Amino acid sequence: MSAFAYDITVAELSKTYFVPERDAGLWSSLKSLVRRKSRVVRAVDTISFNIAPGEVVGFLGPNGAGKTTTLKMLSGLLYPTSGALSVLDYTPSRREKDFLRQITLIMGNRNQLQWDLPALDSFELNRAIYHIPQAEFKRIRDEFIDLLDLGALVNKPVRNLSLGERMKMEIVGSLLHRPRVLFLDEPTIGLDVTMQRRIRNFIASYNQRYGATVLLTSHYMTDVEALCRRVIVIHHGHILFDGRLTDLTEQFASYKTINVTLEDSSIDLSSYGAVMEREAEMIKLRVPKTETARITSRLLSECSITDLTIEDPPIEDVIEQVFTQEQVIT
């Protein structure tokens, strides 16, 4: 398939930092004046992936895995050390104006709005920055304000908004120019579940309505499960998995959970598997994935059961399992 079929193409991309280092204490401080020590940190190590137009991809990994570094390279904030990347057929590090008009990078812990002014004033400034025609600007702005239910807040100075309200405003401000590619770095960090859901729904609706390509990092797996069919898992700068979210569970989950409701709750099920939880007649058993069928069959034949369900483990556990194994599977 040609590169033009993708909005984002990353090939053998690496980023290396030189991090100055010294031991604690005055003597080390004096020594560092004469001889500076530094350490090479390979934040991103020869990663490759492609993202098709309109795809929403979850970019997962623990802190320091290389997610933000990759997003910064894709948005043109960082020069890669080696490798090639292209976003909408532009080389991001050149930061051409036409490229910048078609992307956005939203970072959950950064504020891009005018702190002292109502968000409406910042939106107006963004209109001028991105050359959005007045009528189109008003239509999109009002549409986004409605979708995120911000009508009562747009006239309040940003500094007086709660974290969640501010994040919603940030998202509106960052999408007014209707970018084709969205890089979202922890957009729901620190928000309550209601606010997280609101933002998730908004991103999903933006993606459907405008066909935008989204690369999302989040530590909240509910975000990933709700938005992404495909995930890329990165750890220590390497890609450990790139594929469908369901395949991730299939490949990496080493156990399943059997929820059993017994007629007689006093029966001991520890010989069938690890009892994770017991609540009245309902017991949660953790069993090796390969043994699931056999244990289920034993349970059904040996115990008086009123209900039985089998579940995959939570995605958080699966991801943790991937990090533990740290093997390259793409």
Partner 1 sequence: MKYMFDFYLQTMKTAILSWFQYRVGQYFYMIGMVAEPVVYLVVWSTVASAQGGSVGGYTAGGFAAYYIVWTLVRNINIVFTPYGWEWRIQRGELSAMLLRPVHPIHYDLAFFAGTKFVVIVMWLPIAALLTLLFHPTFNTTPLGVIVFFFAIWGAYLIRSMLLWLLGMVTFWTTRVSAIYGLYFALELLLSGRLVPLSLMPPWVQGIASFLPFKWTFGFPIEALIGQLSVQQLFLGLGMQVSWIVASFLLVRVVWRFGIRHFSSVGN
Q: Catalog residues that contact partner 1 under the rule CB under 8 A.
A: 17-18, 69, 72, 75-79, 93, 95, 97-98, 100-101, 103-105, 107, 110, 112, 114, 116-117, 121-122, 124-125, 127-131, 157
User: How far apart are the two ends of the chain, measured CA to CA in Å?
Assistant: 17
Nearer to partner 1, 27 or 79 (CB): 79
Beta bridge partners of 184: 106, 216
Question: Contact at 8 Å (CB) between 199 and 188?
Answer: yes
Dihedral, 233, 79, 129, 141 alpha carbons, nearest 10 = 0
| Sign of the torsion angle spanned by Cα atoms 59, 63, 67, 68 | positive
Q: Considering the complex, what minimum distance in angstroms separates the CB of residue 110 from partner 1?
A: 5
Nearest approach, Cβ of residue 323 and partner 1 (Å)? 24
Report the amino acid identity of residue 177. Answer: H
Cβ closest to partner 1, residue 131 vs residue 209: 131
Q: Give min distance, CB of 10 to partner 1, in A.
A: 17
Query: Please, which residue, 72 or 141, has the CB nearer to partner 1?
Result: 72
- Nearer residue to partner 1 within complex by CB, 37 or 95: 95
Q: Which helix (H) or strand (E) holds 256?
A: strand 255-262
Query: Nearest approach, Cβ of 161 to partner 1 (angstroms)?
Result: 15
Nearer of residues 121 and 317 to partner 1, judged by Cβ = 121
Residue among 253, 247, 264, 316 nearest 286 (CA) = 253
Closest CA to 271 of 314, 313, 302, 310: 302
CB of 305 to partner 1, least distance (A): 56
